[in-house]
Structure 1
C-alpha cells in the first residue's frame, strides 16, 4: 500500500482550495432549501389530499451530507434527493403502488401550480420534478412509510446496535413482484439514520471549525449558519468523488458508487484536522473496511447493517475490480500532489487529477491570496428536514 505522506503544507493548503472549487455554492443550497420547503408546505396545506397522512419531506444523499459536487459544466444540473414520509400510514393499509400514486398526484398538482413546463417523471423508486433550465436542478422525491419499530426488532434479534433504528423507513420499487400487493415486505431504507451516523464522524472537527468561524465573526456559535462549515471528511469525499468521475477508466455503470466511497471514507476517517491529512488516512485504509463474508464483499449500511452497499459486486465482478483499480490510481495521483512544494507543479498535477475546470476555479477564487465566498473550512453540514407543519421560508440557516 502506498501512503500519500509526506504531505507538504503547500499541497495541504491547495487541497482545501480545490475542495472549495468543487463544492456546491451557497446560492445552490439556498435554492435547494427553498424548493424542499415549498414542496413540504404544499403537501401540508389544508386542501392537500395527503395532509391527513402526516407527510414529512426531508433531504437525503449528498445534499444532506454536505458532499455534493458542483456540476462540471456551466449548464449541468444538481440532483436533489428527497424523501416524503407519510407518518400516519402503515404497510398493511395500502400497496407500494397506492402510496406512489398518492404522492404523485400531489406532486403533479404542485408542478402545475408552479407553472413548471417539464412533465413529472416517474422512476423506479421516485417521482422527479424538473425545474426550469435556469434553476439547474431536478428533485427526486421518494415516497416512504415509517419502519423504525420493525427495524429495531430486527436489529435486537440479531444482537446489533439499535441507536439509529428509529428513523427507519420503507420505500416503493415498481420493479418488485409485490409492487401491487399489500404486504409487509417493502424495501427498507434509513437515510436519516445514515446522516446521523455521518454527523457523528465529523462532530469533532465540525464543532472546532464552527467555533473558529464564530470567533472570527465576533458572533455566537448559534449565529453561524451550519452550511458554512466544511469538515475535512466532507472535503475529502468531494475530492474523491470528483477524482472517480474524471479518472476511473471503467464504464459509468461499473464505477464505484458514491455511497460506497462515502461509507468507506467515513469509516477510515480519524478526525484529522485538514483535508490533506484526511485524504492520507482514507486512501491508506479505506479498503480495510470492506468485509469478506465467505465469497461476498460486504460494505454494510451503518444505519441498517443487513444492507450491503456492495451487493452488486458478486453479480458484476468488474465493479469490484473497478473500485480497486480506481483506488490505486487515486493513491498515486494524490501522492504525487501531496509531496510537492512548488505551486505550479501542484497545479499541473491537480489538472490531471481533478480537471481543468476545478483548477481554473481555484485560480479565479483564490487569486491574490483571497478566499472564496465561504470562510476557511466552510461547507454544508449534514441534515435537512421539513416537518409536517407549514413553515415560512427564511434565509437558509443550515442543514442539520
Structure 2
C-alpha cells in the first residue's frame, strides 16, 4: 500500500491551519503579561526591588497551542513571575505567593477586571473579560540554577539546560510555610530551549522563507531575529497540535485518563529527525514515540529532558490505567492517520478522521481545500496523489525496545 504523500500533506496542512491559534491571540497574551510586568516594575510596587520577570511557558511558548473547540471555551495562558533578586532563604513559599498575590490583586483592581482573582495550588489565576477568551495562570518563582546544576552534576546527569532552572510554590507541599531550600523545581525556559533544539534546523529555514515572503510583499524590513516565533510553524509543532486535538476528542468523556500534553510533546520531539513535512513529522511520532518510554522494572519513565530526576509519567506508576490509556490512544491514532494516509480523496481522509478529530473540523478542512465545493470534496485528492507516493509507515506489533532519548548527553 502507498501513502498519497501530496494529498495527505495538503490535508494535514489545512488541518493545522484550522487548529492554529490566531496571531491576535498570541499578541493579546503577550500584551497581557507585558502589562503585568510593567505593573510589577512600577515605582510603588512591593516586588520591584526583586527584579520581577514575567514570561510565558507551556504550549503558547512552544508554539503548540490549539484553538478551543468553541468560542465558549478559553485559552489557558501559562506564565511565570520570576523574582530574580529573591532567594529561597529570603521567603517561604507561602510568603512569596502571598506577596505576589497582593500585587496581582492590586493589578486586577487597577485594570478594572470584573472576575475575581483565583488561587490555584501553584499559581494565581487572572480571568479576563469574556471577549478576551483566555485566562492567565501566574506561577511565582525564584531562580534556582546553581542548586539544580549541582544536583544534576552530583548524579552525573545532563545539566546543560539547568542555567534557567527555577523554584516554584505549591501549597500542597508539607514545607510550604517553612523557610527551606526544598522547593518544587521547574525549568520552562530550559524545556523550551530543548524543544527548540529538536527543530532548530527546520525552524531557521522556515523563518528565513517567511521573512523573505513578507519582504517581497513590502510588509517588513526587519531582520530574521525580529520575526515573532509564532509566525513560523514547523512540522513538529504542527504534528503535535494535530495529535493533541485527536487526544482531546478521544478522551472528551474521560478527562482524567487523557494523556498529558507534555508527554506527547516530549515523545514526539524525541522521535522527530528534521522531517520537512507535517506527514513526515506526524508518522515519525506515531511510529517511534513509544520507543522513548523507558521501563525500569515495573516503573515507566518519560524523563524531563532538562531535569532527568523529574518523571512526566509518574502518574502512570501510581495508576496503571493511565499508561493503558496512553497505549490505547497511540494505537487508535496510528489506525486513524494510517487510514487517512491511504485515502484517495479528501473526503475519504475526512471520513477516516471524523470519529476522533470531529466532523465539524473535518468539514472546515475540506472547505478550506476545495473552496466549499461539494463536487471537489469527492473528486479532489486522487489527482494530487498521482504526483508522488511513498511507502506508508507500518505499525506492526513488533518488539519495541526503549532507546536513549534524543537530546541527552
Residue matched to 1:322 = 325
Matches within 5 A, 1:72-221: 72-217=69-214, 218=216, 221=224
Q: 1:191 to 1:367 in 2, by over 3 A?
A: same
The answer to whether structure 1 residue 246 and structure 2 residue 249 are counterparts is yes
Give me the TM-score of the superposition, normalised by structure 2.
0.86
State which of 302, 307, 311 in structure 1 corresponds to 2:305. 302
- Separation in 1, partners of 2:133, 2:15: 22
Three-state SS of the structure 1 residue aligned to 2:89 is helix
Alpha-carbon spacing, 1:91–1:298, altered in 2? closer, same or farther (3 Å):
same
Kindly state the Cα deviation for residue 325 of structure 1 after the two structures are TM-superposed: 0.4
Cα distance in 2 for partners of 1:245, 1:88 equals 40
Distance 1:90 1:212 in 2: 43
3-state SS of 1:140 partner? strand
Q: Is the 8 A contact 2:240 2:268 kept in 1?
A: yes
Indicate the larger mover: 247-256 or 12-21. Answer: 247-256
Q: 1: distance between equivalents of 2:352 and 2:84?
A: 50
Structure index of larger Rg = 2
Instruction: State the alpha-carbon separation in 2 of the partners of residues 154 and 133 from structure 1.
Output: 44
* Separation (CA, whole Å) in 2 of partners of 1:93 and 1:216: 51
Structure 2 portions without partners, runs of 5+:
373-409
Match in the other structure for 2:281? 278
Q: 1:288 maps to which residue?
A: 291
The answer as to whether partners of 1:250 and 1:322 remain within 8 angstroms in 2 is: no
1:286-333 superposed Cα distances (whole Å, 9 cap, x missing partner): 000000122110000011110000011111110000000000000000
- Taking the aligned partners of 1:89 and 1:293, their CA distance within structure 2 comes to 38
Determine if contact 2:340/2:352 at 8 Å carries over to the other structure: yes
1:25 aligns to what? Answer: 22
1:5 deviates by 6.6
1:269 to 272, 296, 306: 272
Shift of 1:365: 4.3
8 Å Cα contact 2:208-2:224 kept in structure 1: yes
Larger RCO: Structure 1 or Structure 2 (Cα < 8 Å, ≥ 6 residues apart)? 1
SS in 1 for 2:199: helix
1:335 aligned to 2:338? yes
Separation in 2, partners of 1:276, 1:259:
21
Write the distance in 1 (CA, Å) between the matches of 2:48 and 2:2.
Answer: 55
Deviates more, 1:100-109 or 1:333-342: 333-342
User: SS where residue 56 of structure 2 aligns?
Assistant: strand
Runs of at least 4 residues of structure 1 off by over 6 A? none
CA–CA distance in structure 2, aligned partners of residues 171 and 361 of structure 1: 41
**By how many angstroms is 1:159 displaced?**
1.4
Residue 67 (str. 1) matches residue 64 (str. 2) = yes
Return the alpha-carbon distance in structure 1 between the equivalents of residues 228 and 86 of structure 2.
Answer: 34
8 Å CA contact retained: 2:142, 2:166: yes
Query: 1:58: how far off?
Result: 0.6
- Work out which of the residue numbers 349, 352, 358 in structure 1 matches 2:352: 349
Report the Cα distance in structure 1 between the residues aligned to 2:204 and 2:76, rounded to whole angstroms: 28
Per the alignment, residue 235 of structure 2 pairs with: 232
State the shift of 1:267 in Å: 0.5
Q: Which residue is 1:382 aligned to?
A: none
1:343-370 per-residue CA deviation (whole Å, 9 max, x = no partner) reads: 221222232231123224324545439x
Structure 1: distance between partners of 2:253 and 2:329: 9
Residue 36 to residue 362, structure 1, CA distance change in 2 (3 Å): same
Following TM superposition, by how much is the alpha carbon of 1:215 offset from its aligned partner in structure 2, in angstroms?
2.8
Instruction: Identify unmatched segments of 5+ residues in structure 1.
Output: 370-400
User: 1: distance between equivalents of 2:177 and 2:227?
Assistant: 47
In 2, the alpha carbon distance for the partners of 1:36 and 1:360 equals 35
Question: How many residues were matched structurally?
Answer: 366
1:389 aligns with none
TM-score by length of 1: 0.88
Deviations 1:121-149 (A, max 9, x none): 00100000000011100000000111000
